[in-house]
Amino acid sequence: MTMSNTGGRRRPPTIHDVAREAGVSRGTVSRVLNGGHYVSPSAAEAVNAAIRRTGYVVNRHARSLITGRSDSVGFLLTEPQERFFEDPNFNVLLRGCTQALAAHDIPLLLMIAGTQAERRRIVRYITAGHVDGVLLVSSHSGDPVAEELRAAGVPLVACGKPIGLGSKVSYVAADDRDGARDMVRHLLGLGRRRVGVVTGPLDTPGGVERLAGYKEVLAEAGIGIDERLIVSGDYSRASGEAGAERLLAGAPDMDAVFVASDLMAQGVLTALRRAGRRVPQDVAVGGFDDSQAAVATSPGLTTIRQPWDRISSEMVRVLLAQVSGEDPATVILPTELVRRESA
Amino acid sequence: MTMSNTGGRRRPPTIHDVAREAGVSRGTVSRVLNGGHYVSPSAAEAVNAAIRRTGYVVNRHARSLITGRSDSVGFLLTEPQERFFEDPNFNVLLRGCTQALAAHDIPLLLMIAGTQAERRRIVRYITAGHVDGVLLVSSHSGDPVAEELRAAGVPLVACGKPIGLGSKVSYVAADDRDGARDMVRHLLGLGRRRVGVVTGPLDTPGGVERLAGYKEVLAEAGIGIDERLIVSGDYSRASGEAGAERLLAGAPDMDAVFVASDLMAQGVLTALRRAGRRVPQDVAVGGFDDSQAAVATSPGLTTIRQPWDRISSEMVRVLLAQVSGEDPATVILPTELVRRESA
DNA sequence: TTCTCTACTGTGAACGCTCACAGAGCAGCG
DNA sequence: CGCTGCTCTGTGAGCGTTCACAGTAGAGAA
């Protein structure tokens, strides 16, 4: 022995080594690796045994070079960074996507486009074919990156409905309007009649839909819309706090409030406490998301659960379908009311 | 025109196209791409112009096939999943690493090893050479994955000191002991004398060090250690809540408490409020991390800032150095006291 | 002039895999 | 007996890059 395996990394076995070990040709090994059609049982068995003995793992670079696929997908975040840091949903989504992809043995490349330069670099990277498709997270819609990728023909699935891209891009979203309806009905069911709302950003479909659900339920209950009970935020804790203050100033008799995100609801609770209102006795508070933020508050936040686990797995499913040639699709998933103490 | 570029993705230009366009050979283009030594200024200029005109982007698979490098690194998380969801530091670390790598044009592959099967799959993937190195995050130390990777000779940098791996593996960590000292000194400086502590898990270096800092400062102030003032947690909110209850039961006269993580401090605040103690008047509370959790509480949490931005950039720096052949290294970074309302 | 040295450039070969194709063996059928 | 069709197998080519090497041109020294 002139060479030991301590220290340096040994050259891993190739398909050639496996073929020799199994007494077959490269082609047969390759066929076993990719589906195993047109392979005799005995050959397949020999190949699998050889793979186990040699510890062979396919060289994905060599495979990609010829197939043109990279067998990896990008997870692209085009949020301004504050939101990335704050949003407790994000972890859940990222983990869900990673795991759904892992089941297909597909690695996830994390890409964060904060600055303009990063955007360009990432778009170049993606359009060069270094990933097969992109999972896109950017709530600030009308994203130029999304449009560029779509135009380049890159398979793409957005989280939440992107605006301005027509029906040409796939997306997966929770049923925002229905969730909002459930929550407002719940608040009315508690006997509240002066129900306020802190909306999300109204240039996003989610923000618009949740507000629409609120209005629908009030209308169907025969309660008129009072503009003083409607303020808008941007999903951040701070905007929730500010929103609650504006509501209290404009409508001091408010007895419930539907807040379009849990994080904003945290801010609302802070403002209400400061104003001396008890939750839920004086003001019932309903959130949206069922994120970590919802259990971090006291009282615990009654909220609308977004099915992040299903959202992530559906995003992956739709993306992979698109990668293998299927048409774009949209998926809307049902939400669920989660009762805690705040309403 | 028989072929349009709408719909399908065009085959991207190769180094050959660039060479033809620039009127030079493949070799010259390759030299321009990789450092540009031994290339005449005129040739370099022509190549760069051709690259711009053609929109050429290097095919990393082809490059990797021959260099043996993948020019990508893995970000490996071996936490049980609850911690992943809860920990607000995690986002910051992940973002920091992604950006530090982006500056080197190196993509980050996210890998989450929850189950045993995932562990095996990921180790195979890594040891097959599909990434050049691994950024490892796993606070539960003595991780078998880390040991396997180290034994396979994979460049590795851990976040926080891993135990049981000797000095053979690089790590980057904040100065836990010094941070703890700062906080406890601060509490004593407020005139408090009955200072409790909720430690982190004592099978981790971080947990041990923060407790050691606490004890050191009490000793240097001539205050004896009261075991009733010491309880241990696991960094989770729930364990902070439970810890505070045990402390109040065992030492009702406690007038301050050092909590080894912000998340646990959230739980401590909840328990103190329930027990009718005012913060900071009755009990001063100091956290550790300066995570999102610290600003989410009311009162805002006085805490020890861990320099996550520097931790991530140092992890990347040390890893890349190791990839290019340098020896493992350890980096300890200073912490900083951040004053808010809770102490 | 000739030789050496340096700066630069072009050319095969190779990386490890998949794909297309050719061909072998065998069965069924006219 | 040949033809067709099926299952299975091996082989050569080629994916786009880098690397080693050979070779050219020009400058400077002998």
pLDDT in tens, chain A (343 residues): 333 333 345 678 999 999 999 999 999 999 999 987 889 999 999 999 999 999 999 999 999 999 999 999 999 998 765 565 667 778 889 999 999 999 999 999 999 988 888 899 999 999 999 999 999 987 665 678 888 898 899 999 999 888 776 668 899 999 999 999 999 999 999 999 999 999 999 988 889 999 999 999 999 999 999 999 999 999 888 999 999 999 999 999 999 999 999 989 999 999 999 999 999 999 999 999 998 778 778 789 999 999 999 999 999 999 999 999 899 999 999 999 999 999 8
Alpha-carbon span B150 to B134, nearest angstrom? 10
Residue whose CA lies closest to nucleotide D18 C1': B66
Cβ neighbours of B273 in A, within 8 Å = 298
Instruction: Check whether residue B15 has its CB closer than 7 Å to nucleic acid strand D.
Output: yes
Phi and psi torsions of A170, nearest 5°: -70, 150
Q: Chain B residue closest to A270 (CA)?
A: B298
Alpha-carbon span A245 to A266, nearest angstrom? 13
How many CB atoms sit inside 10 A of residue A3's CB?
7
Alpha-carbon span A32 to B203, nearest angstrom? 46
Cβ neighbours of B86 in A, within 8 Å = 292
Does the pTM surpass 0.85? The reply is yes
Percent of chain B exceeding pLDDT 70 equals 92
CATH 1.10.260.40 domain range(s) in chain A: 15-58
Cβ neighbours of B137 in A, within 8 Å = none
How many CB atoms sit inside 10 A of residue B104's CB?
12
Mutate to test the interface with A, among B79, B110, B122, B149 (most CBs of A within 10 A): B110
Q: Which two structure tokens, joined as six digits, stand for B255?
A: 């007038």
CATH 3.40.50.2300 domain range(s) in chain A: 73-175+308-334, 176-305
CA of A31 to C1' of C25 (A): 20
Q: How far apart are the first and last CA of chain B?
A: 74
Measured on CA atoms in the order B270, B272, B274, B278, is the torsion positive or negative?
A: negative
The top-level CATH class assigned to B176-305 is alpha beta
Residue type for position B112: I
User: Number of CB pairs < 8 Å for A and B?
Assistant: 122
Q: Looking at the complex, report in whole angstroms how far the Cα of residue B154 sits from the nearest Cα belonging to chain A.
A: 8
The top-level CATH class assigned to B15-58 is mainly alpha
Residues 29-88 of chain B with CB under 7 A from strand C are 31, 38-43, 62, 65-66
Per-residue pLDDT band for B3 (boundaries 50, 70, 90) equals: very low
Cβ neighbours of A9 in B, within 8 Å = 129, 152-154
CA of A38 to C1' of D4 (A): 19
3-state secondary structure of B284: strand
Give the bases of strand C that a protein CB approaches within 7 Å: 7-12, 14-21
E strand spans, B51-97:
73-77
Instruction: Check whether residue A39 has its CB closer than 7 Å to nucleic acid strand D.
Output: yes
Q: Which residue has the higher pLDDT, B258 or B137?
A: B258
Q: Per CATH, the architecture of B73-175+308-334 is what?
A: 3-Layer(aba) Sandwich (3.40)
Residue type for position B11: R
Q: What's the rounded mean pLDDT across residues B181-195?
A: 97
CA of B43 to C1' of D29 (A): 29
Contact A188, A154 (CB under 8 A): no
CA of A48 to C1' of D3 (A): 37
Q: Looking at the complex, report in whole angstroms how far the Cα of residue A152 sits from the nearest Cα belonging to chain B.
A: 7
Task: Tell me the pairing of strands A156-159 and A133-137.
Answer: parallel
B92 pLDDT exceeds 90? Answer: no
Contact B289, B306 (CB under 8 A): yes
Q: Looking at the complex, report in whole angstroms how far the Cα of residue A91 sits from the nearest Cα belonging to chain B.
A: 6
B105/A121 Cβ within 8 A: yes
pLDDT of residue B9: 54
B4 pLDDT exceeds 50? Answer: no
Q: What's the rounded mean pLDDT across residues B251-258?
A: 96
Q: What is each CA distance from B93 to B72, B77, B131, B301, in whole angstroms?
A: 17, 12, 19, 21
Contact A252, A226 (CB under 8 A): no
pLDDT of residue B203: 84
Q: Which helix (H) or strand (E) holds B199?
A: strand B195-199
pLDDT of residue A135: 97
CA of A49 to C1' of C14 (A): 29
Q: Looking at the complex, report in whole angstroms how far the Cα of residue B216 sits from the nearest Cα belonging to chain A.
A: 33
Beta-carbon contacts of residue B134 (< 8 Å; ≥ 6 apart): B73, B74, B75, B76, B126, B149, B154, B155, B156, B157, B319
Tokens 């065992």, residue? B250
Instruction: Check whether residue A26 has its CB closer than 7 Å to nucleic acid strand C.
Output: yes
A81/B125 Cβ within 8 A: no
Q: How far apart are the first and last CA of chain A?
A: 74
Count CA atoms closer than 13 A to A47's CA, side-chain side.
23
Q: Looking at the complex, report in whole angstroms how far the Cα of residue A133 sits from the nearest Cα belonging to chain B.
A: 12
Phi and psi torsions of A234, nearest 5°: -130, 25
Instruction: Check whether residue B25 has its CB closer than 7 Å to nucleic acid strand C.
Output: yes
Which among B257, B245, B288, B250 has a CA at the least distance from the CA of B195? B257
